Chains A and B, each alone.
Chain A
Amino acid sequence: MERRLILGVESSCDETALAIVDQGRYVLSNCVASQAHLHRKYGGVVPEVAARNHLQWFPILLKETLAKAQVGFEDLAGIAVTSEPGLIGALLIGLSLAKGLAFRLQIPFLTVNHLEAHLYAAELNEAPIEFPALGMVISGGHTEVYWIEHWGKCQLLIETRDDAAGEAFDKVAKLLGLPYPGGPEIDRLALQAEPRQDLFPVSKMKDGSLDFSFSGLKTAALLEIQKYQPLLETHKHRIALKFQLTVIEQIKHRLLEMMRTYHPTTVIVGGGVAGNLALRSMLQMEVEQKMNIRLRIPVREYCSDNAAMIAGLGTYYFTRGKHSSWNASAFPVDRIRREVIKK
């Protein structure tokens, strides 16, 4: 098959990332300037947000991304870049890089939605998704469920009213004295706890909406932590487990309701929190085994922010004749609309 190489550009938040993907599916290189990456390469401790100096890291990453894929600029057929949602200044750096390269190389570029790309990540190195699908993005900044007829036709069903799930993990981890990011740490601690099933209250909206809410859970965990003086390791294990079980219970409750209402062929779960092992096993049990619905979760490398998912989704649009114009802009908010779908 003829190669069709697309460069993906991602800079919506902390991660600076570039990737080259063939046919929208086969990842040739996937480079993320994470703290670890910078630490290894340049020595010294890199503050979390300094890793967001996208402008500084893009040129270095670009060389690395091409070298790893063993290709040159002349092999690229197009460039896909995240344009929403995210921190506006950060997005604009990626967008400017994409436009500049596309102009110089005389190839097309197009902008894609970061959240749709998190779901597309499930197709990387794997078979196409069978639609219609329910798509859930759970990360440090997002907790949303979409109804997807096909790529390009996504509608927002529910979202968080306050904190994102990953944010709750990070904040409770910090209260427990654990390092950032908190998700893997809580996952690890919960495994050491004596197995119990007790939960914090699972939040439900007064207006009957299925929207998520994690702010009250964060406060409940805080109050429980304050009860123990001193806070022993066994207390920490127990609180980590109870907190994690409650997050998972809330996700399970919303997802089961959604599956019963919408009857999807596939459920896709993407975003950094989708790497949580306890969550993954709950999903396998509830979605695949009990409901007999296909479950697609990206491998962990493609759950957290990366550019392979951007290149992949971009390829899908390129092959359907789409591209962006030079005046394309970036947007801080997700413009996928919330709509009522009658079922």
Chain B
Amino acid sequence: MITTSFVLTDEQQTFELGTIVGAQASPGEIWNLSGDLGTGKTVFVQGFAKGLGFSGKVTSPTFALQNIYPCPTIILYHFDWYRLLTSDEVEALGWMEWIEKKGVILVEWGNKFKNLFPQRTLSVEFEMVSENQRRLTFLAMDEEQSARIEELMRCWPQ
């Protein structure tokens, strides 16, 4: 496993990193976004959606459990497992069907039910470094994922 960390100075940088990752996304991608409250997961998704060309509002899906954003060339499925207690509940929401779709899936609090993710899932861990700074760590499990992260680093100016 190869890990790549980005230390981001403020919320805006989290948004911008999300935008670059989103702009490079391809159909069928699944992202597990994990980290405590207030570490920037939703901000990252807001940037990601912008990178996919979505111009509408992207908000936290904690209550709704799932938001769907139709982007110009792809559909973005935004899940949040914060409130869920068992993996049965995730499956009852049709998880196995959603992951077969050719959209892009982003899951906040994915680490709660890690075993529900298919092997191709990409993971990011969010941490609070200081009041404004955040550390985002991308985990690459194979060569294909390493290449995906390297491409991201090439496009990241900092």
Contact = CB atoms under 8 A, between A and B. Distances in A.
Interface string B43-86: 10010000000000101101111111000000000000001111
A47 B59 contact: no
Given A47-B86, A160-B59, A175-B37, A13 B64 contact: yes
Contact of B63 (A47, A140, A218, A223): A140
B38 interface: yes
Given A163-B62, A166-B63, A50 B57 contact: no
Most buried by A among B36, B42, B46, B57: B57
B102 to A, nearest CB: 18
A88 interface: yes
Contacts of B64: 13, 85-87, 141, 332
Contacts of B42: 162-163, 215
B89 interface: yes
Interface in A133-167: 139-141, 159-164, 166-167
Interface residues of B, number: 25
B38 A159 contact: no
Given A49-B84, A159-B57, A167 B94 contact: no
B146 to A, nearest CB: 32
A53 B91 CA distance: 13
A130 B92 CA distance: 43
A222 interface: yes
B118 to A, nearest CB: 21
A132 interface: no
A218 B89 CA distance: 26
B96 interface: no
A171 interface: yes
B63 A89 contact: no
B49 to A, nearest CB: 13
A329 interface: no
Nearest to A47: B85
Contact of B89 (A49, A87, A163, A171): A49
A307 B62 CA distance: 22
Contacts of A218: 37-38
18 contacts: A49-B65, A49-B89, A53-B92, A87-B64, A87-B66, A88-B68, A89-B94, A139-B63, A140-B62, A140-B63, A159-B57, A160-B59, A163-B59, A215-B38, A215-B60, A218-B38, A219-B38, A222-B37
Given A49-B65, A49-B92, A170-B62, 19 more contacts: A13-B64, A13-B65, A49-B83, A49-B84, A86-B64, A88-B68, A89-B94, A141-B64, A162-B42, A162-B60, A166-B63, A167-B63, A175-B37, A219-B38, A219-B131, A222-B36, A222-B37, A223-B131, A333-B68
Interface of B: 36-38, 42-43, 46, 57, 59-60, 62-68, 83-86, 89, 92-94, 131
- Sorted nearest first, the 8 A-B pairs with minimum C-beta distance are A141-B63, A219-B38, A140-B63, A49-B89, A163-B60, A47-B85, A222-B38, A167-B62
